[in-house]
Amino acid sequence: MKAPSERATRQALVVRVGVLAVVIGLTVFAVALLSVGGDCAGPPADPVCRRLVTTLAERIGMLAAIVTVVAMLTMAGLAKLNAHPAGSSEPRGVDRTATGTDGPT
């Protein structure tokens, strides 16, 4: 099986992080809206209260989505740094200390 190209890997990461952010943002929006939505349904319906609750729920949902993107991309970047250390000239998986060939002595 052929290894995926770096571009395909990045595109897959962008799609996965994007979908996760949208799902989490919408879930937080729905929970926030439903948790306080009944407070505005008094005997006289208050449209100002309802609009305020909706606006705040939208903002909380967007904030959750942005935080999700930042957290996921940070973890992906740290994983990539861990997989490819900057100062390493050795290919991954080569451990010269285990074979006893540290170099000329």
pLDDT of the residue at 48: 86
Q: Write down the pLDDT at residue 40.
A: 76
Does residue 77 form part of some domain? Answer: yes
Res 55 pLDDT > 60: yes
Is 70 part of any domain?
yes
Q: What pLDDT is stored for residue 64 in this prediction? A: 96
Q: Is residue 53 part of a domain?
A: yes
**Mean pLDDT across the chain, nearest whole number?**
81
Residue 96 domain-assigned (yes or no): no
> pLDDT value at position 26?
95
pLDDT at 65 over 70: yes
Q: Which domain holds residue 55?
A: 20-82
Domain contains 49 = yes
In a domain, 30, yes or no: yes
**pLDDT attached to residue 80:** 84
pLDDT at 101 > cutoff 70: no
Choice among 4-13, 14-23, 31-40, 93-102 with the minimum mean pLDDT? 93-102
Residue 8 lies in a domain: no
Please state, in angstroms and rounded to a whole number, the distance separating the CA atoms of residues 24 and 66: 10
Domain count of the fold of the chain: 1
3-class secondary structure, 45? coil
Listed in sequence order, the residues at least 6 apart from 64 whose beta carbon sits closer than 8 Å to its beta carbon are 24, 25, 28
Instruction: With beta carbons less than 8 A apart as the criterion, state whether 57 and 25 touch.
Output: no
